[in-house]
Structure formats: C-alpha cells, structure tokens
Structure 1
Amino acid sequence: MTDQPRRSYDLLLENIEADLRSGAISLGDQLPGERTLAETYGISRASVREGIRILDAMGVLRSSSGSGPKSGAIIISEPSAGLSSALRLHMASSRLPVADIVQTRILLETWAAAAGAAQPPSDAADTALASAAALLEAMDAPGIEREAYHLLDAQFHVVLSSLAGNAVIETMMASLSGAISGYVQKAVDSMDDWPAVMTQLQHHHHGIYDAVAARRGDDAAKLLREHIQWFYLQIPREEKDGSS
C-alpha cells in the first residue's frame, strides 16, 4: 500500500493546530489574510483557501467576506457541527447504519444519566434542569407541530446529557442528534399514528426528567434505554431500510 501524497494545505492545518496548543492563537482571534498565510507557510493562496474551507466545515473557523473586525477567518470551537456533518454523510452512504447510531445513543445517554446523578449539586446542573423543564413544557403545548416537537425533543436529550459534566459526551450527543435529525424528522412525518406516539413520548420524557431531577441515575438510565428503543421500533420499516 502506497502512502497518500501530502496535500499542501495540510501544513496550514498542522500549524494552526500547533498554534492553538501553544496558545499563540486562541478563540476569537482573527487569522491573517490569505496572502500572509500563503507566504508564512510557503503554500499557494488556493491551498490556503482550501484549508480555510476545511477548518470552517470542521467547526474550527468561521469565515466571512468583507472588511472589518468580524470579517475574514475567526477562530471558534463548534466541534459538534463538524462531527454532525461527517456522520450525516457517512449515514447517507450506508457506511454507518442507523441501528448502530441508536445503540451509540443508548450507551452515551445511559452513562450520562448515571454520571449526572453522581455529580455534586451545582449552579450549572440547576440551570440544565431548568432548561430541560422548559423544553418539556414547550413539548406539552397543545397543537404543537411535529417538526417543532422533534427539535425540542432533540434539545431535551442533549441538555440531560450535559448533566454528566463531560464536554466530550455532550459534544458527541449534540453531534449524533444533528446527524440523525433529518432521518428522525422524515420518520416522524411518515407516522400515521403520530398523536398517539407523541403522547407516549411525553410520558417517557416526564418519567426520565423526574428520575434525573431526583438523582436516581439507574432509573433514569433504564428509562432512557427503553425510551430510545421504543421510539426506534415505531419508525416505519421502509424508513429504516432506506437509511441503513
């Protein structure tokens, strides 16, 4: 097997990584212009543009045209956005089966529920629980549309996962949620018995929230597992077959 040829923009990516690690650049900093970057790293401006586009897609940069302090390439950190995009593409190519994504969600969310219950009380936890309660109230609104319910549902799960206090788990949950958003929305839209499904989901969500709020980690983990598995079983077979 031959080595892959080194791409010229790799040098830009490696140096930005090194500068972030060393503290030479940090969140909110603006990168120099294309010409300066090209001269600094000895690569073409086309390679600089390609590297910037890749870092933008990865959620490391936010690039915009024009002039002023908010133009150009700004260092940010939104890892879930880049991971979600990559997961969606691999799911579309059938490389990552939806059933495996579901199993991964179960592993992450049940662990997060148990870990969250073991965390000492904090203002951050209180804020997260208040946010989860507000999302529950919004999902209980009479006549809520399917799309709105789905979006609130996804946020609810990510917020609960944040109680574990693990930034990587929270990022992975947000990424998985973003990756399957289109798939779940399509499945929800195809459900003829959606009102009954939504009623059951509301019951599940309140039970999960009550267990989390009472710091009953094992109960919350069990309810989350049953909830995720139950919803997956409600998805029409043709939807599963078309995305796995």
Structure 2
Amino acid sequence: MTDERRAWQVVLESIERDLLDGRLRPGDHLPGERALSADLGVGRSSVREAIRVLEVLGLVRTATGSGPTSGAIIVALPGGGMSALMRLQVAATGFAVADIVQTRLVLETAVAADLAGSRPDLTASASLLDVMESRDLPPGDFLALDAQFHLSLAEASGNQVIAATMAGLRSSIENYAIAGASTLPSWSGTSARLMREHRAILTAIESGDPASARGAVHDHIAGYYAETNLPSRRPDETPRLVADAAPSGA
C-alpha cells in the first residue's frame, strides 16, 4: 500500500468519524481542501481523492464556483452509501432468492432477539401495521409496507450496518415477495396470516422474550418463502444448499 493511498484513507476515516459522531450532518459543508490538508497532514491531492470516493458512494455532492451551494456538501450518512452500493449490485447482477432469504433469517432473527432484550420504541413499526390492517391494499402496496415494517425493526436496533444492509436489500425483498404473491392460492388468506404474524413479532419483542421474537421472525420469513414455491436460485447458478431457508417439515 502506497503512502498516497494511506493518506486518502486517513481523510476518509476522519470524515466518517465526524459523520458517525454527529459533528457533520446532511446539509453541512465539508471543510475546504486546504483546511483538511492542513488539519490531517496530507496532501491536497489525497483530500481530492477521498472526496471523489465519498461522491461515488453518494455521501457528498460537489459543485464548483462560490456561494452556499459550492464545495462538498454532505447529502447522506454512511449507511446511505452502503445501501446505494448494495442496490447497484442488485441492479447489476441480482441475488438468488434463497440467498436473500438466508440473509434475512440471519439478520432479522438476531435483530428481533436483540430488540426483545432492550425494549425499544416501536411506535413507527406499529404505525405501519395499523395502516396495513386498516385498508384493503393490493398485494404490491401491502408487500411494500411489509418490507418497510421489517426495515423499521432494523432501524430500531440502532445498528447502522444492519439497517443499511436491510435498506439495500429492500427492493430485492419486495420483488421476490411480489413475484411470490402471484403463485398463492388465496392472497386474502395469506395477507391475513402475515398481519397476524407481524403482530406476533411485535408482541414477542415488547414482552421481552428474545427466543419467541427470534422464532416468530424466522417462521414468518421462511413460511412465506416456502408457501410461494419461488425458485431458490437464478437460472445460471449451480444448486446450493440453503440452511434454514424453510421451516422444518415445509
């Protein structure tokens, strides 16, 4: 690794710390090249390289000239860049449905168990369920809110990496859920069951029962996957075993 590469990484790490610690927020300007160079003891070319990386990640927007819109302005927090990269990966190559389901099982069961142990504020999650239960929504709208409900739990965890990962996977989750809805014998029956399962997840979390919360999320995600009979892989993929992709006996 060259000194120049280490230098621009120093700039990235410094800006990332300021973002995570709240010293920089969306809408703030980054210090100028000269100031960052002097403060961090690196060359201005290293500062420019770091800012280019941040711009590609979607964390900053740059504009030339003078005035309040010039320079490098923060437009997202670090999770936003991670989510954007994952969305680009999905758009470019796609992910096997079974891989998405397995990732959800790993992440979301852990989130539910952790939430049950911390008693968080789940007002946002409950409000989403209120909307889903109070309206006769078409499958696409229902499943979009379903994905948002699961994202809201990840956000409630306070873990930025998990929340960013779930946000990046959201379009993939919606897509496979909507594709699977067309295979169901009764959408009304399935949607009613999904709503009951959502409430059971919240109840388990709010009651402080990590094991029940973990199990409720697992059965909810895996049950829908098993019910829809979606293909487990892309057509060009070789078969792979996916552990826990469906509930036992499914």
Provide TM-score, normalisation by structure 2. Answer: 0.69
C-alpha deviation, 1:114, in angstroms: 2.0
- Counterpart in the other structure of 1:218: 211
Q: Deviations over 1:148-178 (max 9, x none)?
A: 32332222223323454x424xx32342343
CA contact (8 A) 2:97 2:176 kept: no
Counterpart position of 1:41: 43
- Output aligned runs, 1:204-215, within 5 Å: 204-215=197-208
- Against the structure 1 CA distance between its residues 74 and 93, is the aligned structure 2 distance closer, same or farther, given a 3 Å change threshold? closer
- Are positions 1:85 and 2:84 aligned together? yes
Question: In structure 2, do the counterparts of structure 1 residues 196 and 242 end up closer, same or farther at CA, with 3 Å as the change threshold?
Answer: farther
Query: What's the secondary structure of 1:212's corresponding residue?
Result: helix
- Given that residues 94 and 243 in structure 1 are in contact (C-alpha distance below 8 angstroms), is that contact kept between their aligned partners in structure 2? no
Count the aligned residue pairs.
227
Deviation digits for residues 195-222 of structure 1 (CA, Å, limit 9, x no counterpart): 4332221121111112112222211110
Q: What is the alpha-carbon distance in structure 2 between the residues aligned to residue 241 and residue 26 of structure 1?
A: 44
CA RMSD of the aligned region, Å? Answer: 3.9
SS at match of 1:241: coil
The yes-or-no answer on 1:14 pairing with 2:25 is: no
Residue matched to 1:179: 169
* Distance (Å, rounded) in 2 between the aligned partners of 1:243 and 1:173: 30
More deviation in 56-65 or 35-44? Answer: 35-44
Q: 1:60 to 1:100 in 2, by over 3 A?
A: same
Match of 2:191 in 1: 198
Deviation string 1:92-146 (CA, Å, 9 cap, x unpaired) is 5658644233222222222222222222x5xxx2xx3221111101111322233
In the other structure, the counterpart of 1:241 is 234
Match of 1:167 among 159, 168, 175: 159
Aligned residue for 1:26? Answer: 23
Please tell me whether the aligned partners of residues 8 and 50 of structure 2 are also in contact (alpha carbons under 8 angstroms). yes
SS of residue paired to 1:74: strand
Report the AA paired with residue 222 of structure 1.
G
Structure 1 contact 146–189 (Cα < 8 Å) conserved? no
Contact 2:61 2:73 in 1 (8 A): yes
Rounded to whole Å, the distance in 2 between the matches of 1:148 and 1:177 is 17
- Same amino acid, percent of matched pairs: 31
Candidates 130, 133, 151, aligned match of 1:137: 130
| Superposed displacement of residue 228, structure 1 | 0.9
Distance 1:143 1:243 in 2: 38
Give TM-score, length-normalised by structure 1: 0.70
Alpha-carbon distance in 1 for matches of 2:232, 2:95: 15
Gapped regions of structure 2 (runs ≥ 5): 238-250
Range with bigger deviation, 181-190 or 98-107: 181-190
For structure 1, which runs of at least 5 residues remain unmatched after alignment?
Answer: none
Per mean C-alpha deviation after superposition, the further-off stretch among 54-63 and 217-226 is 54-63
Would the aligned equivalents of 1:187 and 1:239 in 2 still touch at CA under 8 Å? no
Structure 2 CA distance for partners of 1:111 and 1:186, relative to 1, 3 Å: closer
Deviation at 1:8, TM superposition (A): 6.9
